Amino acid sequence: MKKDIHPKDYRLVVFKDMSNDYTFVSKSAVKTKETIVWEDGVEYPLVKLEISHTSHPYYTGKMKLVDTAGRVDKFKNRYKKHLDKKNEK
């Protein structure tokens, strides 16, 4: 195995699912500028997630379109000319 390829700065981090406000604490080396005070009164770094196991369709059994920041609308607007031509044929 290669030596010195893994980060050494693991610490407790709060992850927050923005679609349903579910939060959990886990060890991570991810860099973040935001912090949050956890239930135990300690301040931890905060990582915001768009989707987690509590909102992912595979785990919930519910099909749900996750459209973060209007990406689907942006795509449709960008390629509207091409989609219109395709629909005319």
Give the residue extent of every domain in the chain.
11-64
55-64 — which CB contacts under 8 Å span 24+ positions? 55/17, 55/19, 55/20, 55/22
Average model confidence (pLDDT) across the chain: 80
Is residue 65 over pLDDT 60? no
Output the pTM of the full model.
Answer: 0.61
For residue 84, the one-letter residue type is D
What pairs with residue 15 in β-bridges?
24, 47
Nearest to 32 by CA among 50, 17, 45, 18: 45
Is residue 63 over pLDDT 70? no
Distance of CA 86 to the CA centre of its chain: 33
Pairwise pLDDT comparison (81 vs 89), residue with the higher score: 81
